[in-house]
Chain A
């Protein structure tokens, strides 16, 4: 079975600073990896996905993530945080054998200070 671990339930950054949200996965077969964002009182929105093409994936709102097989990681980054980036971020992994049903991490709350 696959799993994901998001390191840090809360990450706090200043506006304009680098954003780094960590995600490590476990899977016995090649994984598909996702980052979702959830704003207050909203559903989850797909930020970006890795589906075995380029290892550096660019998503919406200036976010990107890099798939590193040797480190079993898929960390999310953004060069410069904006106040509007404050939200909950979820990493997820899915595999073909599981009908692609994703396993979600517990989420990381991003706090952006002015």
Chain B
């Protein structure tokens, strides 16, 4: 498998549930990112990991908890979400410190009910 793979593609969860989103990249990149894409809003950068270390957290609520066990895998753990958290969550990867652009996964469409 090549590229950036995100699972699941769709997720419906209640506000009291706990779930996790998974991202895996097979490109040999060493930086990974979580983005949130909501309707009629710009793309929002949530977290940045370089060489497994979190280097950026853009004031994301604590109900979102990222985990990066190695350079190929990235998780987003979700708990006690709100309906306004419903969005498309995109994972991306890149070579750290390079201007060559990002490779994105297909995203997880999250609906909080």
Contact = CB atoms under 8 A, between A and B. Distances in A.
B99 A43 contact: no
A76 B98 CA distance: 23
A67 interface: no
A106 B99 CA distance: 20
A96 to B, nearest CB: 7
B61 interface: no
Contact of B101 (A42, A49, A99, A107): A49
A102 B102 contact: yes
A90 B100 CA distance: 16
A101 B48 contact: yes
B43 A104 contact: yes
Contacts of A70: none
B21 interface: no
Contacts of B101: 34, 36, 46, 49, 102
A49 B48 contact: no
A43 B106 contact: yes
A105 B43 CA distance: 8
A102 B103 CA distance: 12
Nearest to B6: A43
Contact of A100 (B4, B43, B99, B105): B99
A51 B100 contact: yes
B42 A106 contact: yes
A112 B99 CA distance: 31
A84 interface: no
5 contacts: A43-B4, A43-B105, A51-B99, A100-B99, A104-B43
